[in-house]
Structure 1
Amino acid sequence: MTSCVETTLVELYADIGGPPVGTALACVGSLARRELGPRSDIDLVLLHDGKTMDRINLFAERLWYPLWDSGVRLDHSVRTPAECADVAGRELSAGIGLLDLRTVAGDKELVASARSGLLSAWRNNARKRLPELLASLDERSQSKGDAAYLLEPDLKEARGGFRDMSMLRALSATWLTDRPHVGVREPYERLLDVRDALHVSSGRALDRLVAAEAPDVATMMEFEDTDALHREVSLSARRIGHAVDLTVRAARQALPERRVLSFVRRERKPVYEQAPYGLIIHLGEVGLDRTTSPAEPLLGLRAGALAAQRGLVLSPVTAENLGAQASSPASPWPQEARDAFYEMLSSGANVIPVWEALDLAGCISRWIPDWERIKAQPQHNPVHRHTVDRHSVETVAQAHKHLTRVERPDILLLACLLHDIGKGPGAGLDHAEIGAPIARRAAEAMGLAAPDAALVERLVRHHLTLAELATHRDHTDPATLDALVDAVDGRQEVLNLLTRLTESDARAAGPAAWSPWRSALIRALAERADGLLVGEDRTSSFVQLGDVGLARSVRLDGKPRIRLEPKPGGIQLVIAAKDRLGLFSETAGLLAAHAVSVRSAMLSTAGGVAVNTWRLDKQVAADLPDLAYLVKQL
């Protein structure tokens, strides 16, 4: 494609009498990188020395018009080398693009001189431009998301896409760092192949892998199905995104600091901290000292635990060596291996980059062989924002705040990690049932005692039960409570674990999965079940404490009643209405629609009237909707 376009441009330049000296047709973008796609734009620069402006404008018209008439998507400019340098200095995106400037036809020395000047200016201004470059990376990642985990990734703009490869080239051009030489080019070319197939299948310049085009792209590229296509895109984008993270980190560390001028010669030695087990910490990275062999079975777990707990990253060389040489712990795992594993998982959000580095190196699948079944596996529910494996790790990170609130934080972490292990290819809606025995097998391989492995299996099997009962069943129906009590084996500590797992899972999925409405329903049902398990008759005690007069008034005229009660922890609403299926969920939704968060809820019925108490996060009545309005809505 690139050679065909270039040949046409060279012929056009010659046909219209393009001068060999003082003027050149140059290219940037995908044409300059020889990565042109079927529907890519052609980015051209007519470069001139500025000596014959009248002639160059006429020549430009003769050059552009045939291209426009042919229907080519053309982005063009006419500039001198000085004007190129000026634009590059003012606009970051233009400056990065001009680093690829390459001759198509005409004066090669003019183009080479212009490109040399652009590269020199880029390097000399590295201190100034690097913060701007990194800010643009963060902004684009926030707005476009991560191509490795999106259901419809933007192959060009999202993290791990083509723009990130341009950023890698720009960062290496500063001479502050070098881009990774291994593991980047192949996934990048794979994404280019997907883009080319997407252009052909859609018939337009489409860079987002939308669901409607994915089947045709998968067929064209001879993938088994669209899941296999998405998995390939995810793995490729992960490699590129990880390479960008490492390169950015190296660039920040290499950026020269401003120092006070001194004539005293000082010998600079590397500064590192010696850590246990032959590990060292240097420049924010965990590595191995000279005497430590990466083949030691527990070293990967210990390095991951140290990096995650300290908020550091694994040295790229260390991660690569661990992936290539480290063996798995003995099966079942010794206690030291489990301790290091739990230490890594209990580090909150810090576990995510460490886990990703170990996963890319191949360590995770060696420790948990069944992890491979969900690695880069796409989700089929729009509520989810991540692939199955990333969602599982995000769930572990979300569980961090619950670790001091459960009796077995180790079981909670393991259940969070393995709760979706059954979502392999073809699992469908039965992934919890499929994943439960897989989770137990993994727990046993890690050396958990039989009762603990059985508990992990139970939590994985029922990780959706609480949410489904809370949002689809009547809380006042005894069968609802019976189903939940049966799911937790009648044990309060298991109910607590399941409640924390449910919240962590929902928060990791996305805002839609843990809305105020859903959280209120889940917490209310869990609280009712908890009261039942500890032997409290919450319904009868509440009816005695609640306003029996409210219930009597509702029975007389059928109209709902609401009483507001200020409490130390926030306002409490007592709402009485004729009991009906869905009343509780409708009330929760009504409060959520007015941005009122529910801290807890207690339900009861008396003579066909539901009298429910809602503890809210609001402190003053003025922050609530008008009570008469709420009554009308009920």
Structure 2
Amino acid sequence: METGETSPTAADLVLARDRILGQGARSAGPSSGHRLAPDALREALADLHEFWLTATAATAGVGGRGGGVALLAVGGLGRRELVPYSDLDLVLVHDGRKTVDSIAERLWYPLWNSGVGLDHSVRTVGEALDVAKADLRTALGLLDARHLAGDAEVTVRLATSAREQWRGSVRNRLSELIESVRQRWHRAGEVAHWVEPDLKHGRGGLRDLAILDALSLAQLIDRPGPDVVAAHTLLLDTRTELRRIAGRPRDIVRPQDGDEIAATLGLGDRFALARALSGAGRAVAYAMDVALRSTGATTGRKVLGVLRRSPERRPLDEGVVLHGSEVSLARDADPGKDAGLLLRVAAASGRTGHPIAPAALTRLSDLAPEPRAPWPAEVRQDLVSLLGSGEGLTDVVEALDRTGLWARLFPEWGAVRDLPPRDAAHIWTVDRHLVQTTVNASRLVTRVSRPDLLLIGALLHDIGKGRGQDHSVVGAALATQVGQRLGLSKEDVDTLAAMVRHHLLLPHTATRRDVEDEATVLRVVDTLGGDPVLLELLHALTESDSLATGPGVWTDWKATLTADLVDRCAAAMAGERLPAPAELGAAQRELAEAVRASGKADFLVDTDGRVATITLATKDRPGVLSRAAGVLALNLLEVHAASVGSHAGVAVGVYSVTPRFGSMPDPALLREQFLRAEAGSLPLADKLAAKERDYGGRAEDAPEPRVLWFDHEAGDLDGEAVVLELRAADRIGLLHSVAGALERCGVDVLWARVATMGGSAVDSFSFVPGRAAGWRRVVENAVLDASR
């Protein structure tokens, strides 16, 4: 477009724009000399529109210096990041003169008539500032204001005032800012992990980058680092190419657009582009999370104010504290010498919902070693606790992965990180799908007898993807490798590998075969080796996996078919083995005989590192189990396994415990508290309720507890016994509450086995059934009420 005596028309603008976009160059391919690179294209579009607006403004009556009227660009044109088919965001600012309306008409109407998108306003400096006070979007937009034509002093006055107003008011607008951000994220999803990301509005997209710039301008955070700058460039280049290819305004990248965009950007194919975008989105999202926390936007704390006390440091675990609103390291914690510290920090963050402090992440990243294989039981327990933390798991894994710590725990993760799926049903990248499946599985832990294997299997079920082979076969081999490193038993490693190998067996069979055909059922039973535990694990994994795939994948129809198949397979798998009491050792039998002779309760404590086995022998009477469990919980001893039986007429309870914090309490203290509990002078219920309030209480979104019943031969007793199995979210004092409920129902527990796996408890109680009608319902309701 050449200048002349007459101003260029809007038609000239559109024609020149289309020529720059090179609509006919698409068939020539990205290597064509007619096709501008993305950054050069944006610069050319900005120059073109700025030239047209400047020339048109002059003829429309926008005077020069002293004229009192100025044309400003905000948005993409203001930042000179004008992507194809973007609206022009323009502000006509004036000093109150009456001729401004006619000037505006001469500016806006040609653009409207030519079909150019336009977002415009006409205001005085004062009016613009007043609108910015009331409207957050306007306030942010004015930060990008750039002079195009007219009286530059008016532009300077507005731009300077807008920035000063933003700096002065931003601290009072943080809650409004975070609310708008969360609403946008809820609508648009995530750039990092969505298969069809929204480059502008999604979490980790260009709108978030604008907010980072605004917070930096207000001097609340530092300027974005190089990884965020690189992410900005990739997102902007991708959006530029997407719109050039589409020939219209579009911000959501579809898989079918990927190959052409990737070729232009030198990224190979759409899968390489998807992984690059996922990495960019993660970098921006993480920077946003850190920025919003550091400004206090997510916690409501004041950034400035009068002298304040330092945030309280409350212990969460060994070497882990809650410092203000962040999970941090205790002052004496040594990451270099404590291999389990990393997972205790992660588990505490997932459990409480508080983020890990950036300084703690940095220190762990610099010093924390990989846990030595096989992992100690307490380290594995912390992993299961983390995996069972529900929605909190997502942010914890993201934080660990961003700092290289997740790969330190799971080196196998690299192949699935940011990996786009190969089928249209999935909405997440593979790594996020694995995490989301685990989140879903945490809600189903009460449906299985081995919640630890369910959670680990959910995390690993697609770990074999991205390697060019059958991902179930590759994944099973990797699961074996991981299971052995975690220190699982040979039987558990085999079960874990079978879960990964056969995680598609139930949904594929249920939806593709006749589940009423005996051959179909026997094929599944034979494939699973007749293992009912593996069957129930795969049932829960199928639901968790389907829910994490995408909307409409887990339908009522699919759920019914799968449940029908599982029921038929379970019926074909003859007789499930039931829990049985563990036999007492020689030292424990000797303790029981000594207590029978003396008539006084006594303890035997055997420690092995942080794990201790506590044996309690006392007179056999109702209430022994609940009182013992209450005393252990009162001393913050977490019960991992327990058995209750009798020897020589003495009740003997064996408890495998670890201290939640610090070291084991003095056995004399445990003995004294138990004797007080037996005498009724120790109010266990009140003290345990206080402990729950102090140490996290009960999760609001905990899965519903579940009770299962089994018939069981009582062995040396006449008649039959039953086994009640409770599956519930674990908490301080759970065993005490449930045992007390059984005792109040008149149940005399013959034996009990307790297993705590991460955040879940699977407790089995054997007793002689009652004779009254409806006794099972009475006992079941009492146990469920006590476990909630």
* Alpha-carbon displacement from aligned partner over 1:309-332 (angstroms, at most 9, x marks no partner): 222111123223433443322233
Aligned partner of 1:288 in structure 2 is 329
Residue 93 (1) aligns with residue 137 (2): yes
Q: d(CA) in 2 for partners of 1:28 and 1:240?
A: 22
Which residue, 224, 243, 253 being the options, matches 1:209?
253
Q: Give the CA deviation at 1:380.
A: 3.0
Q: Residues 69 and 330 from structure 1, CA distance in 2 versus in 1: closer, same or farther, beyond 3 angstroms?
A: same
Q: Is the 8 A contact 2:231 2:284 kept in 1?
A: yes
Aligned counterparts, 1:543-554, within 5 A = none
Q: Give the CA deviation at 1:531.
A: 1.7
Q: Residues 267 and 453 from structure 1, CA distance in 2 versus in 1: closer, same or farther, beyond 3 angstroms?
A: closer
Q: d(CA) in 2 for partners of 1:257 and 1:203?
A: 47
Which residue, 307, 313, 316 being the options, matches 2:355?
313
Q: Give the CA deviation at 1:41.
A: 2.7
Aligned partner of 1:272 in structure 2 is 313
Letter of the 1:329 counterpart: P
Aligned partner of 2:471 in structure 1 is 431
Aligned partner of 1:28 in structure 2 is 74
Q: d(CA) in 2 for partners of 1:70 and 1:266?
A: 59
* Alpha-carbon displacement from aligned partner over 1:259-291 (angstroms, at most 9, x marks no partner): 9x9xxx976233222444433321221123455
Q: Is the 8 A contact 2:65 2:153 kept in 1?
A: no
Aligned partner of 2:771 in structure 1 is none
Which residue, 164, 168, 180 being the options, matches 1:136?
180
Structure 1, 207-216 or 6-15: larger mean CA deviation = 6-15
Residue 223 (1) aligns with residue 267 (2): yes
Q: Give the CA deviation at 1:69.
A: 7.6
Structure 1, 515-524 or 293-302: larger mean CA deviation = 293-302
Aligned partner of 1:38 in structure 2 is 84
Residue 53 (1) aligns with residue 98 (2): yes
Residue ranges of structure 2 left out of the alignment (5+ in a row)? 1-41, 577-788
Q: Give the CA deviation at 1:127.
A: 6.2
Q: Give the CA deviation at 1:128.
A: 5.7
Q: Is the 8 A contact 1:180 1:247 kept in 2?
A: no
Aligned partner of 1:555 in structure 2 is none
Residue 524 (1) aligns with residue 570 (2): no
The SS at the match of 1:184 is helix
Q: TM-score, normalised by structure 2?
A: 0.62
Q: Residues 269 and 211 from structure 1, CA distance in 2 versus in 1: closer, same or farther, beyond 3 angstroms?
A: closer
Q: Is the 8 A contact 2:313 2:322 kept in 1?
A: yes
Residue 419 (1) aligns with residue 465 (2): no
Letter of the 2:47 counterpart: C
Q: Residues 320 and 180 from structure 1, CA distance in 2 versus in 1: closer, same or farther, beyond 3 angstroms?
A: farther
Aligned counterparts, 1:268-417, within 5 A = 268-296=309-337, 297-417=339-459
The SS at the match of 1:148 is coil
Letter of the 2:343 counterpart: L
Q: Give the CA deviation at 1:462.
A: 0.4
Structure 1, 305-314 or 316-325: larger mean CA deviation = 316-325
Q: CA RMSD in A?
A: 3.0
The SS at the match of 2:92 is strand
Which residue, 7, 11, 18 being the options, matches 2:63?
18
* Alpha-carbon displacement from aligned partner over 1:394-421 (angstroms, at most 9, x marks no partner): 1111111333443322221111100001
Q: Give the CA deviation at 1:182.
A: 5.8
Q: d(CA) in 2 for partners of 1:314 and 1:173?
A: 26
Q: Give the CA deviation at 1:81.
A: 0.9
Letter of the 1:389 counterpart: D
Q: Is the 8 A contact 1:176 1:254 kept in 2?
A: no
Letter of the 1:270 counterpart: P
Q: Give the CA deviation at 1:48.
A: 1.7
* Alpha-carbon displacement from aligned partner over 1:301-354 (angstroms, at most 9, x marks no partner): 221111112221111232234334433222333334322222211212211111
Q: d(CA) in 2 for partners of 1:37 and 1:294?
A: 47
Aligned counterparts, 1:573-584, within 5 A = none
Aligned partner of 1:482 in structure 2 is 522
Aligned partner of 1:249 in structure 2 is 293
The SS at the match of 1:281 is strand
Q: d(CA) in 1 for partners of 2:438 and 2:183?
A: 26
Q: Give the CA deviation at 1:360.
A: 1.3
How many residue pairs align between the two structures? 529
The SS at the match of 1:514 is coil
Residue ranges of structure 1 left out of the alignment (5+ in a row)? 537-634
The SS at the match of 2:431 is helix
The SS at the match of 1:348 is coil
Q: Residues 488 and 178 from structure 1, CA distance in 2 versus in 1: closer, same or farther, beyond 3 angstroms?
A: same
Letter of the 2:416 counterpart: I
Q: TM-score, normalised by structure 1?
A: 0.76
Q: Is the 8 A contact 1:198 1:217 kept in 2?
A: yes
**Identical positions, percent:** 40
Which residue, 142, 151, 170 being the options, matches 2:195?
151
Q: Is the 8 A contact 2:78 2:146 kept in 1?
A: yes
Q: Give the CA deviation at 1:175.
A: 5.7
Structure 1, 402-411 or 480-489: larger mean CA deviation = 402-411
Q: d(CA) in 1 for partners of 2:500 and 2:335?
A: 34
Aligned partner of 1:461 in structure 2 is 501
Q: Give the CA deviation at 1:392.
A: 0.7
Residue 195 (1) aligns with residue 239 (2): yes
Q: d(CA) in 2 for partners of 1:480 and 1:121?
A: 71
Q: Is the 8 A contact 1:179 1:243 kept in 2?
A: no
